[in-house]
Amino acid sequence: MMLLEFSMTPLGKGESVSKYVARSLDIIDRSGLDYRLHAMGTIIEGEPAEVLAVLQQCLDAMAADCDRVTCTAKLDYRKGHSGRLDAKVTKVQEQVGRPLKTGS
């Protein structure tokens, strides 16, 4: 399974780009893959082909009316392991010995 964390932003569309980000989140949510939205991006979990296809769909949706798009992405592939969106956080909390702020 793969974790893909990414942030995609159109350039030249003003200070607030939430309407463009919302397009991506609609695609991600409809994909059926597990994901977490956070203040600076989104993390998706799935098979490599699935998460990369979602990334491509997000780019296509943003590029439909944006002439320039930037994207930062991190990939973490680990064969035979799923459920890492939560498991990785749980493991760190166990090491610290208490719950940490992990989202809304």
Q: Which of 60, 9, 6 is nearest to 33 (CA)?
A: 6
- Fold observed for domain 2-96: Alpha-Beta Plaits (3.30.70)
Q: What is the mean pLDDT of each run of 10 residues along the chain (104 residues)?
A: 96 92 96 95 97 98 96 96 90 93 74
How far is it, in rounded angstroms, from Cα 34 to Cα 63? 24
pLDDT of residue 22: 95
What is the per-residue pLDDT for 102?
Answer: 84
For the chain, the structural domain boundaries read: 2-96
